Amino acid sequence: MSGASAPVSAAADDGIGELRRAASQRLAAAGYASAALEADLLLSLATGLERGQLFAWPERAVDAAQRQRFEQLLTRRVAGEPIAYLLQQRAFWSLELRVSRATLIPRPETETLVELALRALPADQALRVADLGTGSGAIAAALAHERPRWSLIGLERDPDALAIAALNAARLQLDNLSLMRGHWSSALGRASLDALIANPPYVRADDPHLGQGDLRFEPRAALVAGADGLLAIRALIADAPRCLKPGGLLAIEHGWDQGADVRALMQQQGLEAIETWRDLAGQERVTQAILSPRLNARPHENLDQRPLD
Ligand SMILES: C[S@@+](CC[C@H](N)C(=O)[O-])C[C@H]1O[C@@H](n2cnc3c(N)ncnc32)[C@H](O)[C@@H]1O
């Protein structure tokens, strides 16, 4: 991606049409495929105008403060900052979510996890379901929205991410979603849940992708899970028998090449009906298992023992 850093346009009195054109060119030169759309989204944010108003009135003037705000946003985007962080929002499932630099930007592949939970669990029962490492609250909010009879718990270690999840729950009026700060399921005690759902950090500490694209700006604690990327997944699987009801569901998102490891860890823990789902790109993405109705809960054995901040 080139660091094209020319100003939006040379003439201070250019109207909206000219600003859109120049910004779109600059974003395209920086390598963004959706340059025109992104230019409009940032101009809307800077001016407070709807996108339709930008089309409708190309000669409309932009005041100095709006122009400066637009220039700052464009500069940050050209430097690689994710558009979701600049707009402070991202669509996930059918919801528009607030995000911040404290939260992971919810990914389309995580919708596989939502879909799986909706298919695997009865819609009409009052189930208790926890989303561990909820971040912006994406998974918990999607499930709470789709299943008003379920009670969702969104658990998160980072207080700033938790504040964003709380904001989303309030904006979306999700009365069946409660939020809790804690270190994986140790905060839940013997919770007797119907399901544990998680998109935990699963990137290897030395993965070169961490230095590329949006990942450069996302919280490291939301991405990285030790040398093999399995640190958080091990902790979640080890804790599942203590937190789940017999017959309860565990579903975990993981890296495309971690399916076999996750299945083996679940098997070692005595979980049953282990199955891996692929995402829309055909990659192994989510593995689910059931706590055997015959299995007694094991003592708490949390493998990821870092203290809370
Ligand atoms: C991959 S992000 C997923 C965020 C969100 N669930 C989503 O899918 O967009 C993992 C989340 O787990 C949180 N996390 C990391 N370590 C944790 C821990 N020990 N206990 C609880 N949450 C943790 C991170 O702060 C981050 O929000």
Q: pLDDT by residue (tens digit) across 210-260?
A: 999 999 999 999 999 999 999 999 999 999 999 999 999 999 999 999 999
pTM above 0.85, yes or no: yes
Give the model's confidence band at 31: pLDDT under 50 very low, under 70 low, under 90 confident, else very high.
very high
- C-alpha angle 198/258/243, rounded to 5°? 30
Ligand 1 pocket test target in 101, 199, 286, 304 with most atoms within 8 Å of CB: 199
Residue 155 has pLDDT above 70, yes or no: yes
The pLDDT, as a whole number, for residue 293 is 83
| Of the candidates 195, 194, 154, 158, the residue with the CA atom closest to the CA atom of residue 176 | 154
Spell out the domains of the chain, with CATH numbers in brackets: 16-80 (1.10.8), 89-290 (3.40.50.150)
| Of the candidates 183, 278, 276, 279, the residue with the CA atom closest to the CA atom of residue 238 | 183
Across 152-176, average pLDDT = 98
Contact (Cβ atoms closer than 8 angstroms) between residue 128 and residue 149: no
- Interatomic CA distance for residues 5 and 212, integer angstroms: 20
Annotated binding site: which residue ranges? 133-137, 156, 184, 199-202
Give percent of the chain above pLDDT 90.
83
Q: Mean pLDDT across the chain, nearest whole number? A: 91
Residue 302 has pLDDT above 90, yes or no: no
Annotated binding site for substrate: which residue ranges? 199-202
Lowest mean pLDDT among 70-79, 168-177, 188-197, 269-278: 188-197
The pLDDT, as a whole number, for residue 11 is 56
Query: 296 C-alpha vs ligand 1 centroid, how far in Å?
Result: 28
Output the six-digit token pair for 72: 């700052």
Query: 36 C-alpha vs ligand 1 centroid, how far in Å?
Result: 33
The pLDDT, as a whole number, for residue 299 is 40
The pLDDT, as a whole number, for residue 91 is 98
Residue 67 has pLDDT above 50, yes or no: yes
Calculate the CA 228 to chain-centre distance.
21
Give percent of the chain above pLDDT 70.
91
Q: pLDDT by residue (tens digit) across 90-129?
A: 999 999 999 999 999 999 999 999 999 999 999 999 999 9
Across 288-307, average pLDDT = 57
Which atom number of ligand 1 is nearest to the Cα of residue 113? 8
30 Cβ contact list (under 8 Å, min separation 6)? 1, 2, 3, 4, 77, 78
The pLDDT, as a whole number, for residue 186 is 84
The pLDDT, as a whole number, for residue 289 is 98
Using CB distances shorter than 6 Å, the residues near ligand 1 are 104, 106, 110, 133-136, 138-139, 155-158, 161, 183-184, 199-201, 221-222, 232, 304
Q: Is 181 helix (H, G, I), strand (E, B) or coil?
A: strand
Q: Which residue has the higher pLDDT, 306 or 226?
A: 226
Residue 3 has pLDDT above 90, yes or no: no
Query: 38 C-alpha vs ligand 1 centroid, how far in Å?
Result: 28
The pLDDT, as a whole number, for residue 280 is 84
Residue 163 has pLDDT above 60, yes or no: yes
Annotated binding site for S-adenosyl-L-methionine: which residue ranges? 133-137, 156, 184, 199
